[in-house]
Amino acid sequence: MQTRKLFSAVSVFTLALGLAACGGDSTDEADTSTSETNGAAGSEERSITLMVGVKGDPFYVSMECGAREAAEAAGATLEVQGPDKFDATLQNPMLDAVASTKPDALLVAPNDVKASVPPLKRIQDGGTKVVLVDTTVDDDTIGVSRIATDNNLGGQKAAEALDELGVTGKVLVISTDPGVSSVDARVDGFGTKAEELGFTQVSDTQYSHNTASTAAQVVSAALAKDPDLEGVFATNLFTAQGVATGVKQAGKSGKVKIVGFDAGPDQIKQLEAGDVQALVAQKPYDIGLQGVEQALAALDGESVTAEIQTESLVVTQDNMDDPEVSKYIYKASC
Ligand code: T6T
C-alpha cells in the first residue's frame, strides 16, 4: 500500500510540474494541514466522485478532463455525475445518494450557496473529503479546499473589455440565477468596474436561468426598450450564446458589443463570426486537476491549500489563434 501512496505522490508531483509548464496557476490564500485521514486512505484504490454543476456543459467537461488526468496518474477511480439542469432541487438528491455511497473524496460544484449546504454537510460528516470546485457555499466549514476562478476579477475584465470596444454608455448584465457564487461574483466585479468607467446599467441584472433561449428573449426585450443599448455582459456560457443569438436576430451584431464569460467551442464560432466581441475564458482543466490533487493530499494527511484562485484570460478575434490562448478553449470531450 505504501507503494501506491508513493506512486500517487510522484505522479501528482509530475503532473504539477507539467501543469506549471503549460501555464497552470494558483494563488494560495491559506494553507491548512489536515491530520485526519479517511478510513480507506492508503488501504485500497481511492474513490473520487466529481459532481459537476450541470451535465454536458463544456466548462465541466474540461474540468472532468483535468480531474481524470490527475486521478488516473494517482491510480484513483473517478466517477462523474451531474444534474440535467443547474438547479439545486435536482442536484441535491444526487448529493444525498453520494452521502450513502461514501466515496473517499467528493469534488463538487454546488448549485446554490445556501440550498446545497445540508447535503454537503451530511457528506462531509460521513467522512468524505469535500473539495469545492468552481462554485462555493456560504458555510465556511464545508470543504477542505475551494478552487475557483477569481470571478470578481473576471467580471472586472469583462467591463474593461467593453470599454476597449468603445462602449461608454448604456450596458446590460444578464446572469444565470442569483445564489450561484461564481456568476454572482462576476456581476459584482463587473458592477464595480462599470461604475469606475462611467457606464449606465439600463436595469437590474436580468436572469437567463442558464438557458440560451431565455437569454435571447431577455436581450431582445432590452433592445426594444433601450434601442441605444451599447453593450451586454453575459456571465456564463449558455447566457452568452443566447445573447449573441438575440442580438443577431435583432440585426445588431457588432453594433451592440457583447462580452461573454467562458470559451466553449460554439462560443468560439460566434467570436469568429463577429457575433460576440470578447470572451473571458476560465481554466476549468486546471481546476479539475488541482481539485483531485487537493483531495488526495487531504486523504494522505498532507498539507492542503484552503483556497486556490485560478486565472482567466480575455479572448478576442485578435488573439484566439495564439496557441497560448487557444489551449484554453473548452473541450466537448476529453
Ligand atoms: O461559467 C461556468 C461556471 O463557472 C459557472 O459556475 C456555471 O456556468 C458555467 O458552467 C458555464 O456554463
Residue 327: how many CB atoms within 10 A of its CB? 12
| Residue 287, pLDDT score | 98
* Euclidean distance between CA atoms 100 and 133, whole angstroms: 21
Atom 5 in ligand 1: residue holding the nearest Cα: 182
> Where do the CATH 3.40.50.2300 domains begin and end in the chain?
46-148+283-310, 151-281
Instruction: Decide if domain 151-281 falls under CATH 1.25.10.10.
Output: no
Report the separation in Å between the CA atom of 239 and the middle of ligand 1, taken as the mean of its atom positions. 10
Report the separation in Å between the CA atom of 59 and the middle of ligand 1, taken as the mean of its atom positions. 6
Instruction: Identify which of 91, 183, 331 to mutate to test ligand 1's pocket (most ligand atoms within 8 A of the CB).
Output: 183
Mean pLDDT of the chain: 90
Atom 10 in ligand 1: residue holding the nearest Cα: 59
- The number of angstroms, rounded, from the C-alpha of 137 to the middle of its chain's C-alpha atoms is 14
**pLDDT value at 28 more than 90:** no
In which residue are the cell numbers 433561449 written?
213
**pLDDT value at 308 more than 90:** yes
Report the separation in Å between the CA atom of 259 and the middle of ligand 1, taken as the mean of its atom positions. 15
**pLDDT value at 273 more than 60:** yes
| Residue 31, pLDDT score | 39
pLDDT in tens, 127-176: 999 999 999 999 999 999 999 999 999 999 999 999 999 999 999 999 99
Q: Among 164, 70, 51, which residue's Cα sits nearest to residue 109?
A: 51
Q: What percent of the chain has pLDDT over 90?
A: 87
Report the separation in Å between the CA atom of 237 and the middle of ligand 1, taken as the mean of its atom positions. 6
Domain 46-148+283-310: give its CATH architecture. 3-Layer(aba) Sandwich (3.40)
Atom 11 in ligand 1: residue holding the nearest Cα: 237
Instruction: Identify which of 52, 55, 59 to mutate to test ligand 1's pocket (most ligand atoms within 8 A of the CB).
Output: 59
Question: Residue 195: which residues within 8 A CB-CB, separation 6 or more?
Answer: none
For 49-64, the DSSP string reads: EEE-SSTT-HHHHHHH
DSSP 320: T
Report the separation in Å between the CA atom of 236 and the middle of ligand 1, taken as the mean of its atom positions. 5
pLDDT in tens, 213-248: 999 999 999 999 999 999 999 999 999 999 999 999
Query: What is the number of the ligand 1 atom nearest to the C-alpha of 149?
Result: 4
Atom 8 in ligand 1: residue holding the nearest Cα: 236
Query: What is the number of the ligand 1 atom nearest to the C-alpha of 236?
Result: 1
Report the separation in Å between the CA atom of 301 and the middle of ligand 1, taken as the mean of its atom positions. 31
Q: What percent of the chain has pLDDT over 70?
A: 87
| Residue 87, pLDDT score | 98
Mean pLDDT of 73-91: 98
| Residue 6, pLDDT score | 34
* Euclidean distance between CA atoms 333 and 120, whole angstroms: 28
Instruction: Please give the grid coordinates belonging to residue 100.
Output: 450513502
**pLDDT value at 27 more than 90:** no
Question: Ligand 1 pocket: which residues have CB below 6 Å?
Answer: 53, 57, 59-60, 134-135, 180, 182-183, 236-238, 261-262, 282
Atom 7 in ligand 1: residue holding the nearest Cα: 236
**pLDDT value at 3 more than 70:** no
**pLDDT value at 56 more than 70:** yes
Mean pLDDT of 76-88: 98
